[in-house]
Structure 1
């Protein structure tokens, strides 16, 4: 413990440099240290250990058996210190650590994943976790501390004053269909043309479902009678691929599927009037400070919004 209390990285570097140069004066010069100061540090270590670290010869200094053990461990200690400094630097720069984010489907495809990709390209050691879920679930888990921030909407059951809220954008609904669907090639499609087909939609109360139903009500058109309820994009695409189902998703999801060639044979209905979903937001807990890594990802998301 006496050794541990006296050890400083600069002292260990001196011992290693003496072992390397075999000259006290050269070691002191290399470390910008006076020779008397270097001699005093070496003498203190040898007194504490109770054994010489070096055997002095007219032509230089040779490690003793105690010195060889000291040098071996000093290299390990200094290596760990350098690793610690590097890791702390990465943490302070937001290039290391863990970030947890939740999002509703549209923003996840439109701005969150491009932001994640940009951050990981410059900081590949950063661990990022992304979940996609309805806003009610995202808000609940944000309050529980599971997420650093989310992209979604604040349910009426929650007080917005408890959160830091960054304005985002509205969503436009895209009605996804198979390329062989009868309405896939038509222009200026009215809502009344859509009621005879099967639909796969988010559960009642979800924003896109509400926007679609509100659009039908505003036009005085009955809502589609044949609806499979599911918030799963995979289920929606499976239904679209199997026949004449219509699946409302965000325009951002459509862009990802159609223009990135992810959704083969997926098209969208050209509606006469667009269906708009109320704005989503970037939301974080007002009582917690973000890590530097989470701040980096948040900045990338906001830049894309």
Structure 2
């Protein structure tokens, strides 16, 4: 089947923005066009494709099965075209840019080490890092807004159609501030529920591992909790309170080595989830993204061998 030459770049851009926003109103605002004009453009595209791409409702616009299938190719196509145009602009070449989606589990130790090595080898490289929940980052990867997503991966349907490569396994542990009462308590295991708890947000992949840790060791979680993906907030709150942090081990590794935080010696450590990189197989990987993959594999191997940065 030949591509209908009536399909224009604007059709794809409008389609991708509505898919990204889940709403015609928000998409029209982002694109700075009127909602009727956006709706007309989508209708033109659906007519040309002879397929319904969105189901409209009061709550927004949701992709149909046909829309999901088209999204796999529309995003990478637009991104490839943009890169091609940029590469031909004489005198306007920008530095190589790698666009990474980074989950909280790797932003404090793995990613800084990766960026250091990348900049040492590629002086003109720009590393653009976006943080957030895995569902959001994977959706950005799917439409070509990110080159890679790095972190503890999810079993969510969001990862379907994408490619995941395991780098290393990361455990979770319970940590407290130096001088915490539980450190001197021979029955600390029984008294955990008496102290505030810091947990990842409900519904996230890392939260499932945290919940599993408590179930496996028959611990009743406290009712007083702070739920967040922010490592900065978690670290600061634990240091100035009696709270217990269910933390990814990499996130607190340096705090433990400095003595700022202390691991509770309860024989409790969840065996580990898979930390890796996720890419979009439908997207032609840029040179900068390939450099990132190379260094991520290198550092991941060191992690597996116990040679941590």
TM-score tier by shorter-chain length is: 0.5 to 0.7
> Cα–Cα, structure 1 residues 139 and 98, in superposed 2: closer, same or farther, change >3 Å?
same
> Cα–Cα, structure 1 residues 196 and 188, in superposed 2: closer, same or farther, change >3 Å?
closer
> Quick check: 1:174–1:254 contact (8 Å CA) kept in 2?
no
> Cα–Cα, structure 1 residues 245 and 285, in superposed 2: closer, same or farther, change >3 Å?
same
TM-score normalized with structure 1 length:
0.62
Alignment gaps of 5+ in structure 2: 1-89, 301-309
Describe how 1:131-170 pairs up with structure 2 within 5 A. 131-152=130-151, 153-158=153-158, 160=160, 162-170=161-169
2:235 to 237, 243, 257: 237
**Deviation of the 1:187 alpha carbon:** 8.2
1:266 to 261, 267, 277: 261
* 1:272 match: secondary structure: coil
* 1:105 match: secondary structure: coil
> Quick check: 2:101–2:146 contact (8 Å CA) kept in 1?
yes
2:281 to 275, 278, 286: 286
Alignment gaps of 5+ in structure 1: 1-83
* 1:247 match: secondary structure: strand
In the TM superposition, what whole-angstrom CA distance separates every residue of 1:119-162 from its partner, at most 9, and x where no partner exists?
101222211012232212211111122211011313422353x1
Greater Rg over alpha carbons, structure: 1
The residue number in structure 2 matching 1:228 is 226
Two-structure CA RMSD over aligned residues (Å): 2.6
1:256 and 1:163 mapped to 2: Cα distance? 32
> Quick check: 1:188–1:271 contact (8 Å CA) kept in 2?
no
> Quick check: 1:97–1:126 contact (8 Å CA) kept in 2?
yes
1:186 and 1:290 mapped to 2: Cα distance? 53
Q: How many residues align?
A: 210
In the TM superposition, what whole-angstrom CA distance separates every residue of 1:80-122 from its partner, at most 9, and x where no partner exists?
xxxx79x98xx9xxxx411110122222334322111011012
> Quick check: 1:199–1:224 contact (8 Å CA) kept in 2?
yes
Given the alignment of the two structures, is residue 194 of structure 1 paired with residue 180 of structure 2, yes or no? no
